[in-house]
Amino acid sequence: MSFTLLLNSSAWRQHIDSVNGGVSAHAEMIPVIKGNGYGLGQERLAHETGRLGSTCVAVGTVYELADILDMFAGDVVVLEPFEPRDAAAANLWARMLKRPDAQRIIRTVARPSALHALAQANTSGRILIEARSSMQRFGMDERELLATLADGRVRSAIAEDRLEVSGLTLHLPMAQPAGEAGGRGPQALSARAREVCRWTGLWLAEISGWTRQSDSAAGIWTSHLSGTELAAVESAAPGATLRARVGTRLWLGDRSALTAQGTVLAVHPLPRRTRVGYRQRTGPRDGTLVVVSGGTGHGIGLSAPTPASSTRQRVVTAGTGALDAVGKAMSPFIWAGNRRWFAEPPHQHHSMIWLPKGCVIPAVGDQMTAEIRFTTTRFDAVMES
């Protein structure tokens, strides 16, 4: 039996086309195809980008690069910054850059030392230079960026086209940056848009003095900007070529089109105090034990730290932790309108859950829906309807 994703193809593609239309009115959309392909699989997403007519996609790491190059005919940006001191990745990078289609690869460079290493190497290639945004993850700050681009070896590599700069890239936070002063009134730029405009002005001023590549380098690559914010940046920075990376909002924005479901494998009505599972725990009085497909191998039961920011979210998180401490954990599986309790932690390919007395009992072969995190889930199959 299988843990599957039921995909409403018509609704899903209608949403994708809507997002693409909204973004493309102000910027070139760069679909992000990384990790597990947002639960849908990288091959399916690569096919959809082709349907959209996209000329460039983004992947997470160099380890995802080969498959996407084989699936997709356009350019591929690797989001994780190139780091020469990462020996395992450096070896794979060397192999990737020997491919006959290596000109389609665009590396992200986020540290002065990495850019210096590329400038001194006897190779050529396309790069994006990452600015350190208010997210504070990767990238060069203003001082590092200007000093690095002023270095003679870097200037020579650009002037000689050994390094082909495709623009400046920014990875923005989902929340509005606290450090960016906001404006007032209906025409005011959001803090995110102001941050992009500030970096865009600095970047365009820098590349205006380049004798080569100033046109191709005018690309400003961003993430997490709404259509309104993209329009504001487009208006405020007419000299820039905007490219907007879109992942979660594009592929998972219409959750009604995506239904995760596990198959009921076994149903056992049990008397009170019957012990079950590897750990021989007892369940509710006269409850029913249901075995359903979907376990840790699919991502069931795996969780990330909560981003709790409100009092209510913190209370819920504290309550969940207290229940975990006494061996009770809520499963993602839903039956008869409610999420149900795990009988014990999920196994690799299936889960054991309790249904209370009086609940409608499923039959073997029935489907139980599940509320899951798509980016950590691996489905046995994606079934289109």
Is 330 within a domain? yes
Q: Dihedral of CA 162/167/168/173: which sign?
A: negative
CA 302, CA 299: separation in Å to the nearest integer?
A: 6
Residue, of 376 and 178, whose pLDDT is higher: 376
Residues 226 and 310 occupy one common structural domain: no
pLDDT tens, position by position, 256-273: 999 999 999 999 999 988
Residues 200, 329: one domain? no
279 in the same domain as 186? no
Q: Using CA atoms, how far apart are residues 313 and 358, in angstroms rounded to an integer?
A: 31
> Is position 4 within any domain?
no
- Exposure class string for 193-214: b at 16+ Cβ within 10 A, else e: bbbbbebbeebbebbeeeeebe
The model's pLDDT over 50-67, given as tens digits with 9 standing for 90+, comes to 999 999 999 999 999 999
Do 62 and 148 fall within a single domain? yes
Question: Are 265 and 241 contained in the same domain?
Answer: no
pLDDT (mean) for 325-340: 85
CB 131 within 8 Å of CB 139: yes
Same domain, yes or no, for 190 and 53? yes
351 and 294 in contact (C-beta within 8 Å)?
A: yes
Given a contact cutoff of 8 angstroms between Cβ atoms, the answer to whether 35 and 60 are in contact is yes
Of 229, 251, 273, at which residue does a domain stop? 251
Question: What average pLDDT is seen over the chain?
Answer: 91
Please give the average per-residue pLDDT across 119-142, as a whole number: 94
Q: At which of 251, 273, 308 does a domain end?
A: 251
Last residue of a domain, one of 251, 282, 316: 251
Residues 146 and 286 placed together within one structural domain of the fold: no
What CATH number does the domain containing 99 carry? 3.20.20.10
Are residues 51 and 139 located together in one domain of the fold?
yes
What total number of domains does the chain contain? 2
Instruction: Identify whether residues 222 and 276 lie together within a single domain.
Output: no
Find the domain containing 372 and state its range. 256-384
Do residues 268 and 376 both lie within one domain?
A: yes
Query: Are 289 and 353 contained in the same domain?
Result: yes
Q: pTM score, two decimals? A: 0.90
